[in-house]
Amino acid sequence: MKQFWKKHILMRILIYLVLGVIALILFARVFMRVYPEFGGRPTRADRADYLKRAGAYYDGERFFYPEEWKLPGVPVNQKVSAKDTRPVNPLPMSAPDFSLAADDDVTVTWLGHSSLLIQMDGKNILVDPIFSKRASPVQWAGPARFSEPSVTVDELPAIDAVLITHDHYDHLDRATIKAMEGKTARFIVPLGIDRHIARWIRDDSKIVNLAWWESVTLDGLEIVCTPANHRSGRALDNQQTTLVCSWVLRDKERQILESSDTGYGGHFAEIRRRFGDFDLFLPDSGQYNSNWHDWHMFPEESALAAETLGAAAVMPIHWGAFVLSDHGWDDSPERIVRACEEKGIEVLTPRLCQTFSLSGSEQVQDRWWRELA
Mean pLDDT of residues grouped by 10 in the chain (373 residues)? 59 62 56 76 97 98 97 90 94 95 93 98 97 95 95 97 98 98 98 98 97 97 98 94 98 96 98 98 95 95 98 98 96 97 97 96 94 89
CB 322 within 8 A of CB 287: yes
Strands (E), the chain: 106-112, 115-120, 123-127, 161-163, 187-190, 207-210, 215-218, 221-226, 246-250, 255-258, 280-282, 313-314, 346-347, 355-357
Whole-prediction pTM:
0.93
pLDDT reported for residue 76: 87
pLDDT reported for residue 24: 58
Length of the chain: 373
pLDDT reported for residue 366: 95
What is the spatial distance between Cα 47 and Cα 39, in angstroms, rounded to a whole number? 16
DSSP assignment, residue 260? -
What is the spatial distance between Cα 325 and Cα 329, in angstroms, rounded to a whole number? 9
Task: Give the side-chain half-sphere CA count within 13 A for 347.
Answer: 26
pLDDT reported for residue 75: 86
Domain ranges of the chain: 1-34, 67-371
- What is the CATH T-level fold of the domain 67-371, as seen in this structure? Metallo-beta-lactamase; Chain A (3.60.15)
pLDDT reported for residue 131: 98
pLDDT reported for residue 317: 98
pLDDT reported for residue 236: 87
Strand partners, 314: 281, 347
